[in-house]
Amino acid sequence: MHLIQFFLPLRDNDGDAFPRAMFDTVRSELTERFGGVTAFVRTPAVGAWEDDTGDVQRDEVILVEVMVPTLERDWWRDYRETLRTRFRQEALLVRATAVDML
């Protein structure tokens, strides 16, 4: 089993909030394909990183995760690119972790 997690920004680079419908679409897409999804939306996480000029940038993000029996790397790579474009990001973090069900 694998846990796929990705981080979606709440706002674009101009600071404008993305419409809720964009997040609803992601949940619908993942539920349709994988049968379920968990989105942590109540308290956004804050990501910080240093850009090329040395300035610290910050984003508020929500964590979305899906449990899958097999890791379809190509599909997730393509979906990450779809989300990166949809949410107008230079990069979008997606990670996969092997999970032992207890």
Considering the entire predicted model, what is its pTM? 0.81
pLDDT tens by residue, 37-69: 988 876 666 666 677 788 777 778 889 999 999
How far apart CA 19 and CA 35 sit, in angstroms, is 24
Domain residue limits, the chain: 2-98
Least Cα distance to 33 among 97, 63, 76 occurs for 76
Structure tokens given for 53:
């000029």
| Per-residue confidence band for 101, with pLDDT thresholds at 50, 70 and 90 | confident
Length of the chain: 102
2-98 CATH: 3.30.70.120
